[in-house]
Amino acid sequence: MKYLLVILIAIFTSPVKSDEITKKYIGVWGAWSTAGMAIYASFRIDENYISWAGHRDISPECKVGYKVIEHISATTHQDVPANSFISDKHKNIVFDYFKIELDPNECSDFLHILLSFPRTDAFYTDEIYNTYFIGYMKNGSKESILVNVGNP
């Protein structure tokens, strides 16, 4: 009986298989700059699709299937601009970076999007949540989109 109790405790106290991390990007994330709001307004990400639509008629909704092709955790990423809004207390915060590959779709100029989310328990209005999504365009260029990921 003692061994069964030890086994049950081990099963129920084992770390969860990072579903919390792997699904971190699911939600609605608002663009944080005037230009970003005009073109993208917000990114809606569910299990199968990412969509965005700007505040202007020239930016209608685009809904595209995707798959996560890379996940890394690091304090910086070579493609993500340094965030000048972040205070010194957050300089070493680790971010989860998810690179997603988009299904071909005429409404999107993106091949991939890099999503970045801080690993922190800071209050959701903290400046650490103002981060960038990076769009990798079909023509080979990149677009940095300032996004707030504080509260889905």
pLDDT tens profile 68-126: 999 999 988 999 887 666 677 777 889 999 999 999 999 999 999 999 998 887 776 77
Q: Would you say residue 7 lies in a domain? A: no
Please give the model's pTM, rounded to 2 decimal places: 0.80
Choice among 19-28, 51-60, 116-125 with the minimum mean pLDDT: 19-28
Q: Is the pLDDT of residue 46 over 50?
A: yes
| Structure tokens that stand for 151 in this block | 């509260």
Say which residues have a Cβ less than 8 Å from residue 48's Cβ, sequence separation at least 6: 65, 66
- The residue range of the domain holding 74 is 19-148
Which of 45, 37, 53, 21 is closest to 120 using CA atoms? 21
CA distances from 82 to 73, 75, 86 (A): 16, 10, 9
Question: Is there a domain that residue 3 lies in?
Answer: no
Length of the chain: 152
Question: Domain count of the chain?
Answer: 1
Lookup result for tokens 């049950």: 8
